[in-house]
Structure 1
Amino acid sequence: MKIKHLLKILLLIPVIALQGCDTDAEDETYVIRLGHQLDINHPVHKGLVFLKEELERRSNGSMSIVIYPSSQVGDEREVLELIQIGSMGMTKVSASALESFVPEMKVFSLPYLFNNQEHYWNTLNGNVGKELLSAGEPYRFKGLGYFDAGSRSFYTTKKQVVTPDDLQGQKIRVMNSQTAVSMVNTMGGAATPVSWGELYTSLQQGVVDGAENNLPSFYYSKHYEVSQYLILDEHTSIPDVIIIGTHVWEQLNTEQQKWLEESMLAATDFQRALWAESTRESLEVVKKAGVEVIEADKSVFQESVLPVYESLKGSDLEALVKQIKSLGVEQ
């Protein structure tokens, strides 16, 4: 464990001591600590604030969530580890970051998996999505639900990308996901995993030539300040997963679990609407800031990643892909 990360944990020990204090005393509140990596203006953070407020309302103040944004307690992997050892209660994590625990989560990093938003949410809200939420329980975390994280597109610092051929020779930052690495390499780029907190500097200093993410993250991270080109190829739609440690979930009584689940459902609806608005606003802002926005011919990109699907033949993931694809077929 990094010394810097260890120091963060030591500084939080007084708060950790309060974590999980379940009491019948009327003047005390059951507090769950939640750490994540995004800016406080990001629609995902605002969705988490809504979750906190909704939980306080439904529980009449007997439950609450303390939120630590902007990587205060570490990156996604580090916060997951804190949950596993019982030092953190909840987090927001990209489905891609769960791949090493739940291999089925790789399916969300496959390019052009969903036909449209309706197909995407039918999958998340149906049996497939629910089964994936519970698949992490052997690793001490349970999925409560999904937040919208939009569609991911490429942005670059020096050379515009119009077709996959333009990725040749370009180092493209990806999340620490083997599926994402495979996708970018198949398209012709050089996939380069870099932590989110180091990405702005990496783009600025030329460590990488570009990255891929959703529009609000591109805007709120200020990556548009060092990236001149954005192509809206929308290659993947990877949801954020709201995670709670099983050590916390199992401490809650039936009523408390119900309050949290109901609050999560309400927060999902709130965050989806907020995300759509934020996506529109983010696109307008980066255009005004001088970023060249390119509308992609998606068919060319879809054709370029066919080998990714060919490589799945005979695997468990191929069966899951077929199940998801069937949900997008018009009845």
Structure 2
Amino acid sequence: MTPDKKNTAKKIAGGLAAAALTFYIGAAQAADFNLRAVANSNENDEDYDGLVVFKDFVEAHSNGKIGVDIYMGTQLCANGTECLQALEDGSVDIYISTSGGTANMFPYVQVLDLPYLLRDDRIAEAVLSGDFVREMRNDILDDTNDSIRLMTIGNTGGWRNFANTKRTVTSPEDIEGLKIRTVVADLPQELVKALGASPTPIPWPELFTSFQTGVVEGSKNGITDIMGMKFTDAGLKYVTLDGHAYMAALWFMNNEVFTDMPEDLRRVVVDGFSALQQATFASPKRKSIQAYQDFAKAGGELYVPTPKEKEVFRNASAPVYTWFTENVKSGQKYYDLLVAEAAKAEKAVDAIYAKDLK
């Protein structure tokens, strides 16, 4: 290629790049709705995976009419109470929280932490894609004078399992006497007490040292959290995959922002949250593969309870269900609803097994 042709090609390429940049800047400026989405976590978390999928989906399918800005960490708000307030007053448009982070405002969301009610991923994903979420959405709207809207419930970290520094746990008797770390919340503490162990609230950043020093001897965590924090280096060696609680993530949106959108854009947002939900369902499954491998390499021991053994754990947890239904606002309603929706999902999945296993 001659120098003149090279210069011409460079000018054309430069012009195309400038035109593309101008297009994207113009598209961003042309957005009719700019959504500020907050997750108090980091870019290694399933929350971030979900937000990236949501942002890409709604920006593309709205033809740039909706823009999404992602704020990871505590830039705009620091915790569940603060972020929900920001959501109500409109300084944040989208927020994700665990049930523990929102239980002070909506106590009934703790139903998601009740142990052994959701059999496995298929059941949990079916329940959280149906009318259970719509009923909770209606109650949250009522409790916030139509200011906060529950959009969907995904996953953040897989399943909670019992892990400890002392021994293999195959039954509730094996947990008796252990000092188990919990968050500062009634329900997880009631579960630990029901199983005969001692609930010990410890801040997350202090947990590694607490394992080392014996302040606590166990915890209730997902495998990705265990390996992400390198708890095996602090002596955590035994994990029982009892899957007692699905680590649900509640995704909220400012309802006024949502309802101010025309119907076609509301449809895009709803579809975007559906795509986000699917991404958060899948992300822990992928990430846990390496985590389990790393746990084994670190000398960790995994135990998978049989269905009969899990039933023993569930029966031992009965006092937690009683506590929830008697002490939590709408507790009986949501316990009954979750049990009914889980049974419906199990029936549907079992019908599929009957066809697919032949």
| Coarse TM-score class (shorter-chain normalised) | 0.7 to 0.9
For residue 145 of structure 1, report the CA deviation from its aligned partner: 1.0
**Corresponding residue number in structure 2 for 1:249:** 258
TM-superposed CA distance for 1:329, in Å, is: 4.8
Higher Cα Rg, which structure: 2
**Partner Cα separation in structure 2 for residue 66 and residue 145 of structure 1:** 19
1:114 to 103, 106, 118: 118
1:300 to 307, 312, 315: 312
Amino acid at match of 1:326: A
Cα pair distance change 1:298/1:60, threshold 3 Å = same
Instruction: Note the alpha carbon deviations across 1:134-184, whole angstroms, 9 max, x for none.
Output: 322232321111212422102224555443233333332334442222111
Question: How far apart are 1:235 and its partner, in Å?
Answer: 0.9
Once the two structures are overlaid, the 10-residue window that deviates more, 193-202 or 39-48, is 193-202
- Which residue in 2 is equivalent to 1:21? none
* Whole-Å separation in 2 of the counterparts to 1:210 and 1:329: 31
Query: For residues 70 and 158 of structure 1, what CA distance do their matches in structure 2 show?
Result: 34
AA partner of residue 107 (structure 1) = V
Match of 2:341 among 317, 324, 327: 324
Equivalent residue number for residue 57 of structure 1: 60
> Residue type matched to 2:336 in 1?
A
Name the CA distance, whole Å, in 2 between partners of 1:258 and 1:158.
51
8 Å Cα contact 1:136/1:142 also seen in 2: yes
Separation of aligned partners in 1, 2:28 and 2:50: 28
The amino acid across from 1:27 in the alignment is: Q
Question: For the Cα contact (< 8 Å) 1:170–1:189, is it kept in 2?
Answer: yes
Amino acid across the alignment from 1:40:
E
Q: For the structure 1 residues 177 and 313, does the alpha-carbon distance in structure 2 shift closer, same or farther, using more than 3 Å as the test?
A: closer
Bigger CA drift: 133-142 or 46-55?
133-142
How many residue pairs are counted as aligned between the two chains? 308
Distance 2:334 2:154 in 1: 23
Is residue 122–residue 327 contact of structure 1 (8 Å, CA) maintained in 2? no
Match of 1:11 in 2: none
The farther-off stretch of 313-322 and 288-297 is: 313-322
Whole-angstrom distance in 2 between the partners of 1:91 and 1:219: 26
SS at match of 1:290: coil
Find the counterpart in structure 2 of residue 148 from structure 1. Answer: 155
Structure 2: 5+ residue runs without aligned partners? 1-26, 327-331, 349-358
TM-score by length of 2: 0.74
Supply the distance in 2 between the matched residues of 1:197 and 1:256 (Cα, whole angstroms). 41
In 2, distance between residues paired with 1:256 and 1:202?
A: 49
The superposition leaves residues 98-126 of structure 1 with CA deviations (integer Å, 9 ceiling, x where unpaired) of 33333332222111102333322222122
Q: Given that residues 178 and 217 in structure 2 are in contact (C-alpha distance below 8 angstroms), is that contact kept between their aligned partners in structure 1?
A: yes
Partner of 1:182: 190
One-letter identity of the residue aligned with 1:214: G
**1:18 maps to which residue?**
none
1:69 and 2:72 are equivalent in the alignment:
yes
Q: C-alpha separation between the residues in 1 aligned to 2:54 and 2:46?
A: 12
Give CA deviations for 1:214-273 in whole Å, capped at 9, x if unaligned: 222333344444333322111111421111123432443333322211111122223323
Kindly tell me: are residues 251 and 206 of structure 1, through their superposed partners in 2, closer, same or farther at Cα, counting changes over 3 Å? farther
Q: Distance in 2 between matches of 1:37 and 1:200?
A: 21
Extract unaligned runs of 5+ from structure 1: 1-24
Larger deviation, residues 169-178 vs 237-246: 169-178
Instruction: Check conservation: 1:124, 1:130, Cα contact below 8 A.
Output: no
Cα 1:229–1:115 shift into 2, 3 Å: closer
TM-score by length of 1: 0.80
Distance 1:287 1:57, change over 3 A: same
Q: Which has the higher helix share?
A: 2
